[in-house]
Structure 1
Amino acid sequence: MHYQAPTRLSAAILDWAGTVVDFGSFAPTRIFVEAFAQFDIELSLDEARGPMGMGKWDHIRTLCDQPAVAERYQRRFGRAPTDADVTAIYERFMPLQIAKVGEHSALIPGALETIAALRERGLRIGSCSGYPLAVMGKVVELAAAKGYSPDHVVATDEVPKGRPSPAQALANVIALGLDDVAACVKVDDTEPGILEGRAAGMWTVALRFSGNFLGLTWDEYQALPAERRTAERTRIDGLFAGSRPHYLIDTIAELPAVIDHINARLARGESPQAC
């Protein structure tokens, strides 16, 4: 038997918040601020956004390891935050997230049209998120009511290790019965999500403006003057540089053209691992 490289994409593995739903990725970040506040620990929205894309327990652990946050915790409780403290914050975070995720569940403009275009090109639609299963159930239900139902969903607590591990992306590959990771593209608005796709051996597409790095609502984004958008593209491209996405686009609405470009590269014998 001989290895035959794929000549076309067979699947897109899409992130959720900041990629397909919740323009600006507000649902998880604002709840982190509220959860920490219940322990009398001040957390800014910018600080909450820092580790976005990781599983939520790991996200809280990373926040607690930040020197400024650890210092506030030390002043409040007289000690550095332990894993037990992280779990306590996480247990406050979960019911808040489940209760409020619906407030930021709108589909990102262009998402449904893009997904329809991908299906027309023969792609299966997988998905994964930093949300745990208890939250994902609500997110999936709300998205289905708005017309979006991917072929498979993997929550962060359904695999042994969350992002930037490739486990969630690869769980989609297995569940969808796909033959080659090089025929898959991972689309995400965070560095851990792009690293996940890279580690899985997939093509990767980073989203600049719909997610965590810009952190604006759709209306705020639409109101940005052209020169500000240009400056933000440069800034955000720099933030993504270390994770080495194959492509950077503004929002998911631009994805079909990227799919066509990747298919042309695959037809020429190129692979994501070599780029």
Structure 2
Amino acid sequence: MENKRGVIGLIQAVVFDWDGTVMDYGAQAPVIALKQAFAYFGIQVPLANIRLDQGLNGLAHTKKLLRNSQIGFEWLSNYPDDSLNGAVEKVYQQYQRAIGPALKEAAHFKPGVKELVDYLNFQKIPYIATTKFPQSWLAQVLPLAAQQGFHPKANVTFEPGDTASSEINQIVDHLAGLSVTRPQNVIRIGDMPRDMLTGQTIQALSVGVVEGGQLIGLSEGEFDLLTIAEKNELRNQAVEKLEAAGADEVINQINELINLIVAINDVDTRHAAYQTVKD
């Protein structure tokens, strides 16, 4: 089977995004950590305000929130001898203290991940994972992920001073280490537009996943409380953003990737064998 990005033959590898795709439904850990960081200084920032720029790195997110007239005014009212630049440094330092516990608390598989990982293992399709967090933060989550059965062949982290090119180079190097011969036979799956752009850059099949992702940005409990119409509206908005960023395919739940791989690989007999083993 050949699809619109030139996949011919078998899928050779999968490149996962970590937060909001594999673990941490709605990518809540950074949101919670940032809220706690401001609360430490007596400033209560509504979750809705923080979620407006969900996906920014912690420092940029802190700066943007403090540029908000109400939040900035509250800070200067509480700390008249401090500058907003000083506020950014203090809040971000507190955020760095809060993010580790928040990441560990949120380190649970999203629905459908275990089924997908079991399938990849059965089909002997290797996978790596990427994150916008530094290695020191990811290291706190890795043992918890391993306990749940997630064992990437490599992890791409984002260190201070890294650029988008750094991430791309790491991914390409790791895929070469997996003996990938055609980047078009790699799937890049993530929940954000930047993940789709990464996939395009490495010439992979870019697959966006909607539910539990950052574009919706709600916890599983919050999402479950919505009406069907509200859920569908948020899903449609996320789909539009992922497609606008160049997604080749968009799926709602991450385990729907299994059907896509089956269609590409045209391995119905192997899939039937997997179903037999699983059942």
Kindly state the Cα deviation for residue 128 of structure 1 after the two structures are TM-superposed: 0.8
Bigger radius of gyration: 2
Kindly state the Cα deviation for residue 72 of structure 1 after the two structures are TM-superposed: 3.2
Match of 1:61 in 2: 60
CA–CA separation in structure 1 for the residues paired with 2:107 and 2:172: 26
Q: CA, structure 1 residues 218+258, in 2 after alignment: closer, same or farther (shift >3 Å)?
A: same
1:116 aligns with one of 90, 115, 118: 118
Kindly state the Cα deviation for residue 9 of structure 1 after the two structures are TM-superposed: 1.7
Kindly state the Cα deviation for residue 197 of structure 1 after the two structures are TM-superposed: 2.1
Q: Does the CA contact (< 8 Å) of 1:31 and 1:93 recur in 2?
A: yes
CA–CA separation in structure 1 for the residues paired with 2:161 and 2:13: 20
Q: What are the residue-to-residue correspondences of 1:1-275 with 2, within 5 Å?
A: 7-39=9-41, 42-54=44-56, 56=57, 59-65=58-64, 69=68, 72-73=71-72, 76-77=75-76, 81-82=84-85, 86-157=88-159, 160-162=162-164, 166-222=168-224, 224-263=226-265
CA–CA separation in structure 2 for the residues paired with 1:131 and 1:229: 29
Q: Does the CA contact (< 8 Å) of 1:6 and 1:180 recur in 2?
A: no
Kindly state the Cα deviation for residue 111 of structure 1 after the two structures are TM-superposed: 0.8
Query: Structure 1 stretch 119-128 or stretch 65-74: which is displaced more?
Result: 65-74
SS in structure 2 opposite 1:205? strand
TM-score by structure 2 length?
Answer: 0.77
Q: Does the CA contact (< 8 Å) of 1:189 and 1:207 recur in 2?
A: yes
RMSD: 3.2
Provide structure 2 residue ranges, at least 5 long, that are not aligned to the other structure.
1-5, 267-279
Q: How many residue pairs end up in the alignment?
A: 257
Kindly state the Cα deviation for residue 117 of structure 1 after the two structures are TM-superposed: 1.2
Q: CA, structure 1 residues 239+186, in 2 after alignment: closer, same or farther (shift >3 Å)?
A: same
Q: Which amino acid aligns with 1:187?
A: I
CA–CA separation in structure 1 for the residues paired with 2:26 and 2:210: 10
CA–CA separation in structure 2 for the residues paired with 1:88 and 1:164: 28
TM-score by structure 1 length?
Answer: 0.78
Query: Structure 1 stretch 127-136 or stretch 115-124: which is displaced more?
Result: 115-124
CA–CA separation in structure 2 for the residues paired with 1:191 and 1:200: 15
Identity %: 20
Kindly state the Cα deviation for residue 103 of structure 1 after the two structures are TM-superposed: 1.5
Kindly state the Cα deviation for residue 230 of structure 1 after the two structures are TM-superposed: 2.7
SS in structure 2 opposite 1:43? coil
Q: CA, structure 1 residues 122+235, in 2 after alignment: closer, same or farther (shift >3 Å)?
A: same
CA–CA separation in structure 1 for the residues paired with 2:186 and 2:111: 23
CA–CA separation in structure 2 for the residues paired with 1:174 and 1:71: 49
